[in-house]
Amino acid sequence: MGAWQSYRLRLQRKRWLVRAFRKRRELKRIADRTAQIRTDDLLLLCTQRNERVRLPYFLRYYRSLGINHFLFVDNDSDDGSLDYLAKQPDVSVWHTGASYKRSRFGVDWLNWLARKYGHGHWCLTVDPDEFLIYPFCDTRPLRALTDWLDASSIRSFPAMLLDMYPKGRLNEQGYEPGQDPIEIACWFDSGNYTIRRNKRFGNLWIQGGPRARVFFPDQPEKAPALNKIPLVKWHRNYVYVSSTHMLLPRGLNLVYDEWGGEKASGLLLHAKFLNTFPAKAKEELERKQHYAASVEYRAYAEKLEENPDLWCKWSEKYINWRQLEILGLMSKGNWA
């Protein structure tokens, strides 16, 4: 990469930083407990809208992994989730009524919070329907991983989105607050992912899984990106460029080995497809606040009329991280 291009990327990074700075004014402080954050704390950042039903389990899951403090942006919820979050002892929450789309799908808001509170911390940026799985997550807390990453001088940790779905129609099983969504959506596609390299940002671009298979069989290029880098030892000069798919400076995107080896990686179990999904998809489509003119949600809406079954006879049932490792979806790298 030439000096010119790296200069342009630098400018771009500055631009996103400035933009995050401007967008900070859209955030209204509701509950600020950031004074509790201690030097070594693990932080979680999340934007949410009307996810009240998912929040109890989400918080429980990440507390059990060892997250010390949650930073939430509430995008104009009207289902009581804001009150619920404000009451949690380890949550700081901001409210905004501004456009999700114009904050680049929440990225600007979270970039700002990360810059302000995340400097020097390991920051995990996820959605309320994403559950991080990493090697040895059943026996070692998240801090074991971040300590190891620190010792290995690794600044960012990848976790591909793994779309989970139930067997049968989406509305067959109801999801209750506090329930583990993976109990219902426990199936996934194990081997139909395509990978390309994004030359400009140096990240991989991964597509596939049930969404590509069912919603985009004829336009695979439009299928949503699954590559994510949610866990980063934050520095105030870092920015997420597009969702958590890629960052700047681009060195943070080099989470894969290019010389035949495997680096350590995890997965985000994506429990999007519950009985709550059709209503959500309809609402999101009406709000028109999603990526690429909501092409994804339009595709869902079309197919959802048919109430499709994402399950097929080659679907794998989720057991544990070791299974995902053997299938080649994630890797221990040299962590043993």
Ramachandran assignment for 43, one of left (phi > 0), alpha (psi -120 to 50 degrees), beta (any other):
beta
Minimum CB separation of residue 130 from other proteins in Å reads: 15
* CA within 13 Å, CB half, 20: 24
> Between residues 4 and 38, which has the closer beta carbon with respect to other proteins?
38
Q: Residue 62 belongs to what H/E stretch?
A: helix 55-65
> Between residues 103 and 331, which has the closer beta carbon with respect to other proteins?
331
> Between residues 93 and 231, which has the closer beta carbon with respect to other proteins?
231
Residues in contact with other proteins by CB under 8 A are: 136, 139-141, 143-144, 147-148, 151-152, 158-160, 189-197, 204, 206, 210, 212-213, 217-221, 227, 255-265, 312-315, 328-336
> Between residues 137 and 281, which has the closer beta carbon with respect to other proteins?
137
The span from the CA of 15 to the CA of 21, in Å, is: 10
Of 226, 11, 19, 188, the residue nearest 109 (C-alpha): 19
Minimum CB separation of residue 20 from other proteins in Å reads: 26
> Between residues 52 and 155, which has the closer beta carbon with respect to other proteins?
155
The span from the CA of 68 to the CA of 333, in Å, is: 26
Minimum CB separation of residue 333 from other proteins in Å reads: 5
> Between residues 213 and 303, which has the closer beta carbon with respect to other proteins?
213
The span from the CA of 237 to the CA of 250, in Å, is: 12
Residue 249: cis peptide before it, omega within 30 degrees of 0: yes
Minimum CB separation of residue 290 from other proteins in Å reads: 22
CB atoms within 10 A of CB 39: 6
Minimum CB separation of residue 73 from other proteins in Å reads: 27
- Copy the structure tokens of residue 52: 């009240």
Minimum CB separation of residue 68 from other proteins in Å reads: 14
> Between residues 4 and 314, which has the closer beta carbon with respect to other proteins?
314
Minimum CB separation of residue 287 from other proteins in Å reads: 30
Bridge partners (DSSP) of residue 268 are 132, 161
Q: Nearest 5°: CA angle at 95, between 94 and 96?
A: 130
122, 232 contact by CB (below 8 A): yes
Torsion of CA 191, 194, 197, 203, to 10 degrees: -60
